[in-house]
Structure 1
Amino acid sequence: MSPNHVTELVELLQLERLEDNLFRGQSRDIGTRFVFGGQVLGQALAAAQQTVDPMREAHSLHAYFLRAGDIEAPIVYSVERTRDGGSFSSRRVVAIQHGQPILNGSISFQEPEQGVEHQTTMPEVPLPEDLEPMRHLPPEELARLPVKLQRWLGIDGPFEFRQVWPRDDMHPVKRPPIQHIWFRLTAPIDDAAILHRALLAYASDFHLIGTATLPHGISYMTRNVQMASLDHALWFHRPFRVDEWLLYSFDSPTAQGGRGLARGQIFSRDGRLVASTAQEGLIRVRNG
């Protein structure tokens, strides 16, 4: 795996400042039809962070995906400095393409402080070294897919994933809506906590809403299935590094009305709960 993918992703999160509260980010074609939602989340967080006292750390992000992003066009991020209080700062971010908002987000920052502490226990799962890396499709199967999908499934990205319970998205079978996946960047990066949070925001969009499809024997590759993320929530709890193994534990408590809800907990290798996520997504199964 080449560190070039990691360098490209880190550069993607280095936004150009156009004005005090206006930033521009580029888009990266990773083989998806539209801009990957995690890219917009990571860039929105990076934009908001540039308007906040660097001593204040992001602790929560809530965003709505409004339109599909155009891979061929840059994205402009407009940041509203909603409030700077004694301990917390709030920012509203709008991501804009072609004059239209594609994402609305709210992000809260806090100065570090001590307080009561507890957490849930990390699931007992095999260590990443005891699991096989996710494998590419055989060339003959890959060749039968659309070109865009071939690129998505046929290249190594900046993150490595190892599934506790591997799943074949080409031939999905029904199973409970729970999964555990280890992940990390494929190359080391510097220590800046701001960068690690932006990269976790990017990675937090992988595999999340797909958890809601598990009981139904479908996936994003099923021909008559339409899927799209509708919103995304992310809470940062404790320090972490994305270039070290993290366990992403997912569950989906419900699906109804053409929508599915998925939740995630992200643990460090030593069992610390470092972040939590939630996402609702569109899941439509069309007849015929």
Structure 2
Amino acid sequence: MSTAADGAGSFLDLLTLEQPEPDLFRGLSHEGAPLRAFGGQVAAHALVAATATVDPDRPVHSLHSYFIRGGDTTRPIDYHVERIRDGKSFTTRRITAVQHDEAIFVLSASFHRHEDSPVDHQRPAPHVPPPADGHPLFDGRAPSAPEQAEAHAPRDDAAPRDDAGPRVGSKKWADERRGAWARRGFEVWAVSPVAPPAATGGEGEPAGAPSGGSQPAPARMRAWLRVTEKLPDDQHTHACALVYMSDLTLSHSIRGPEGGVGQGMQLTSLDHAVWFHRPFRADEWLLFDQESPTASGARGLAIGEFFDAAGTLVATVVQEALVRPARRPVG
């Protein structure tokens, strides 16, 4: 089994699983937060396992998942697939990720054979600069790694660690993480919104701008993402790749205008849901339009939409995260 934890190899290596039994799959995960498995890879692995038990002509159309405990990057994770239903049009699977004899993650996925639709509509894509006019998100000027202070489990002991190397969030730490993430085969370029001609407010407003009331407007973040290597043509692979990338930046929009993680906040993903609307390629540029419509009670909600370069809405993602002040190690 290839060890994705070391960041070597192709992007497809990150999605590779063993199959020791018909409905049992096994894989390793790399870090997201320090010493924690990256939640996007765990979710993608669960979808890989589910997809392997479904007819090829039924692509996934939605998934819903919960992060229960943090994953250990030094040990394999087992993915147990339950075949809930195989109907005429839909197939349903439930996947439980188990490590150290405990469930760490659960995911339900639904697959749908193609049907012609009597309706077809979407909202327009936002006006943003092309990727070439953006800046690399993981470059030390902003939080430089996915989930830099996040641990995918609601544990009281989940906190950024800076006692085993450069301080979490420091420029040195960011530079090291940037190189590690670049080797994993994808690009993320942040862009700012551009107001359409004759537009006032709306898309042209900066994130966190006042909306006319006492509360700040929803925090917003936009980025172009893609896998840098050529992927196979099957839509299953591209769906799994999108699930992986959908967890790279989404919860960062919960930070709000105060700066969030950069001001000592810790984000812990609680759940993750994806709806797939239309075919797409994850190895071509996808615009990820993300915002947090609300945050309260130590939880924040983030919603993201993926558009292809032609402006077609291909997927929607929703995530809730626990938001707490980051605790520093004693001494």
Normalising by the smaller structure, the TM-score range is 0.7 to 0.9
Distance 1:150 1:35, change over 3 A: farther
C-alpha separation between the residues in 2 aligned to 1:144 and 1:56?
46
Of 125, 128, 147, 2:128 maps to 125
Of 270, 273, 288, 2:310 maps to 270
C-alpha separation between the residues in 1 aligned to 2:113 and 2:326?
48
Q: Is 1:244 matched up with 2:281?
A: no
Conserved? CA contact 2:166–2:173, under 8 Å = no
Distance 1:272 1:174, change over 3 A: closer
Q: 1:63-74 counterparts in 2 under 5 A?
A: 63-74=65-76
Of 41, 44, 51, 1:42 maps to 44
Q: How many residues align?
A: 274
Q: CA deviation at 1:213?
A: 0.7
The one-letter amino acid of 2:127's match is E
Q: CA deviation at 1:131?
A: 2.2
Conserved? CA contact 1:6–1:187, under 8 Å = no
Using the size of structure 1 for normalisation, the TM-score is 0.87
1:234 corresponds to: 274
Q: CA deviation at 1:29?
A: 3.8
Q: CA deviation at 1:216?
A: 2.7
Of 129, 137, 140, 1:137 maps to 140
Q: Secondary structure at the match of 2:40?
A: helix
Conserved? CA contact 2:227–2:284, under 8 Å = yes
Conserved? CA contact 2:222–2:288, under 8 Å = yes
2:213 corresponds to: none
Distance 1:179 1:188, change over 3 A: same
C-alpha separation between the residues in 1 aligned to 2:314 and 2:188?
18
Conserved? CA contact 2:226–2:284, under 8 Å = yes
Q: Is 1:255 matched up with 2:258?
A: no
The alignment yields a C-alpha RMSD, in angstroms, of: 2.6
Q: CA deviation at 1:97?
A: 0.5
Bigger mean CA offset, 90-99 vs 18-27 = 18-27
Q: CA deviation at 1:227?
A: 1.5
Conserved? CA contact 2:219–2:292, under 8 Å = yes
Conserved? CA contact 2:274–2:318, under 8 Å = yes
Conserved? CA contact 1:211–1:250, under 8 Å = yes
Q: CA deviation at 1:222?
A: 3.9
The one-letter amino acid of 1:23's match is F
Conserved? CA contact 2:254–2:260, under 8 Å = no
Q: Secondary structure at the match of 1:203?
A: helix
What percentage of residue pairs aligned between the two structures are identical?
43
Distance 1:114 1:32, change over 3 A: farther
The one-letter amino acid of 2:57's match is M
Unaligned segments of structure 2, at least 5 residues: 1-5, 145-164, 194-206, 210-217
Of 246, 270, 273, 1:204 maps to 246
Conserved? CA contact 1:32–1:148, under 8 Å = no
C-alpha separation between the residues in 1 aligned to 2:295 and 2:285?
30
Q: CA deviation at 1:135?
A: 5.7
Conserved? CA contact 1:28–1:35, under 8 Å = yes
Bigger mean CA offset, 252-261 vs 29-38 = 29-38
Q: Deviations over 1:36-65 (max 9, x none)?
A: 000011000000001111111100010000
Q: Deviations over 1:1-58 (max 9, x none)?
A: xxx9684331231211121111111222467430000001100000000111111110
The one-letter amino acid of 2:251's match is I
Q: Secondary structure at the match of 2:136?
A: coil
C-alpha separation between the residues in 1 aligned to 2:303 and 2:33?
25
Conserved? CA contact 1:12–1:25, under 8 Å = no
Of 220, 237, 251, 1:195 maps to 237
C-alpha separation between the residues in 1 aligned to 2:80 and 2:293?
34
1:218 corresponds to: 260
C-alpha separation between the residues in 2 aligned to 1:144 and 1:66?
28
